[in-house]
Structure 1
Amino acid sequence: MTSRKLAGISAAGVGAATAVTALLLGATSGSAQTQFNDSAYGIAAEGLLPIEPTPFVESTDGEVVTDELLQLPQPLGVGVLKVEAGAHAAKAQALDVNLAEVLELRVLTTTCDNAQGDVELLGGSLAGQELPAEPAPSETIDASPLVTVELNKQTDNEDGTLTVDGLVLTLLPAGDPGAPVAPQDFEQLEQLAPQQLALPAEVPATVGELRAQLDELNGDLTAQQGQTLLTVTLTSATCGAEKKTPAPKPKPVETNLPVTG
């Protein structure tokens, strides 16, 4: 057994082994450190109705962090938001979603695992149009010239992490100003628009006319908000790939310790 072999080593032998080890490997050695930068959130919005990412979790030490939020009222209409992040992975899930009767989802799950993203939808529809259960990266669906949805939006970040946004809804996206506006398109805008936005009494003929009337009614509000009125992100997960900082190479250290038998 190993213990018996060690018991027969003399003090001189131990000294010799120590001297050789110090000569070959150096007096100190470094250890590799794992880096983490994982996060997730349930919902966020920019534009007329800004919402900070919530619920939001972040893990920088590898420990898994979780949180959840129950019941968001209309027009957001979300039953449950669950998030978790840690150990080079992140996940965000939305349950029972109903955005102003325009966007409906039973379950939306967004995951990031070792810098690989995935999105799954169950029971999803946009203005009556069925949404794909397993959308391709950056798959875009136009409900009308006034409402678009991007699914499985994936962004490579400068720090090497990947961000996966499950669903991004855009109200009045940039597009052709000459595109016609149908009554049902304008109805979607009425349902999704924040209450503080004044809308025309009649349906404008084109997107360009709609923008002009919105500017007139709201004091150049659309210009102040950029090209879009509102962008809502539902479920987002960010994670990095597992990698280790290499340990420093050992340097030979000269020693005067004698090697004796």
Structure 2
Amino acid sequence: MKKTALLAAGTVAALTAASITLASPGQADSSTSSAFGISAEGPVPIEPMPAISSSDGTLKQSSAGSLPDNPLASATISALYAGNRKAGITLVDASVGGGLLEQLPPPPQELVDACQQATDQVPDLPTLPEVPGLPIPTPTTPAQLSDVCKVLLTPPDSLLGAKVIEVSCQGTKGDVRVAGLKLLGQAVDVPSTAPNTSIPADPLLNVTINKQTKNADGSFSVQGLVVSLGDGTEVLTLGSATCGTAAAGRAPAQAPAPKPVTRSLPVTG
């Protein structure tokens, strides 16, 4: 039997997917840049607010305003922004704990008596009543007794105040500026704004300035003031900036469609 045929055949590439997607060379993972004014963990939790974020590298900015109402802190916001490898926030006239101090119950008479006596020993005192977010520790040293007396007998306007808290990051570098800091109504010199600087512990609060963290997703975070109330019962963050890196953003490259190759193949038989 005579057979004559013209067989049109393509290459193997023509028979496989012509739409294979190739990864764009050099394309890196991305992480989000963000900033917020306040957050808290403890008996009085506060989700980060006000907050702004940028996942694609576009610069996002928010106009000036105030911290939303909350029982822990107040401040005016003069800057809030996030973009590719940069973020920042500036808080003005920040105040922490004014609302908590308003909830302080009258001190027990045993404490009033102890506060009015000059002594090198701390008498046995009853467990002091707790305020949500601010448990008052029973003092065990004369210095602690003096501090507790000042707070309970003549409460200050706030636990912490600051004229300015400025937090920013650029890439993997962070910067914090604090001006006009007051603790329990008393002016305090900021010893340094070097990363992870702590102010000496107080019976009611402890403060870390410029807390810096490298995150698992490759981003970098800077927190202005981290305030621990009641020995860590409530932890408050004032001013936070996180710098992430946007991906290159190029669309995936498409493999060029292979050109079929036609050959004439004689078939005999």
Structure 1 length as normaliser, TM-score?
0.57
Instruction: Give, in angstroms, the shift of residue 142 of structure 1.
Output: 2.9
Q: Contact 2:167/2:241 (CA < 8 Å) preserved in 1?
A: yes
Aligned Cα RMSD in Å?
A: 3.4
Structure having the higher helix fraction is: 1
Match status 1:62 vs 2:60: no
Instruction: Give, in angstroms, the shift of residue 64 of structure 1.
Output: 1.0
Structure 2: give runs of 5+ residues left out of the alignment: 1-21, 99-157, 260-269
Which consecutive aligned stretches of 4+ in structure 1 deviate over 6 angstroms post-superposition? Answer: 245-248
Q: Contact 1:150/1:167 (CA < 8 Å) preserved in 2?
A: yes
Match status 1:113 vs 2:170: yes
Counterparts in 2 of 1:41 and 1:75: CA distance versus 1, 3 Å: closer
Aligned pairs, number: 176
1:168 is aligned to 226
User: Considering only CA atoms, is the larger Rg found in Structure 1 or Structure 2?
Assistant: 2
1:216 is aligned to none
Match status 1:40 vs 2:35: yes
Percent identity between the two aligned chains:
33
Give the Cα–Cα distance (whole angstroms) in 2 for the partners of residues 134 and 86 of structure 1.
28
Match of 1:103 among 148, 160, 173: 160
SS at match of 2:57: coil
Give the Cα–Cα distance (whole angstroms) in 2 for the partners of residues 163 and 136 of structure 1.
14
Instruction: Give, in angstroms, the shift of residue 80 of structure 1.
Output: 2.9
* 1:70 aligned partner, one-letter code: S
Structure 2 length as normaliser, TM-score?
0.55
- 1:7-156 equivalence runs, <5 A: 30=24, 33=27, 35-67=30-62, 68-70=64-66, 72=69, 75-80=72-77, 82-99=79-96, 100=98, 101-127=158-184, 128-132=186-190, 135-156=193-214
**Greater alpha carbon shift after TM alignment, 50-59 vs 143-152:** 143-152
Structure 1: give runs of 5+ residues left out of the alignment: 1-27, 174-227, 256-261
SS at match of 2:91: strand
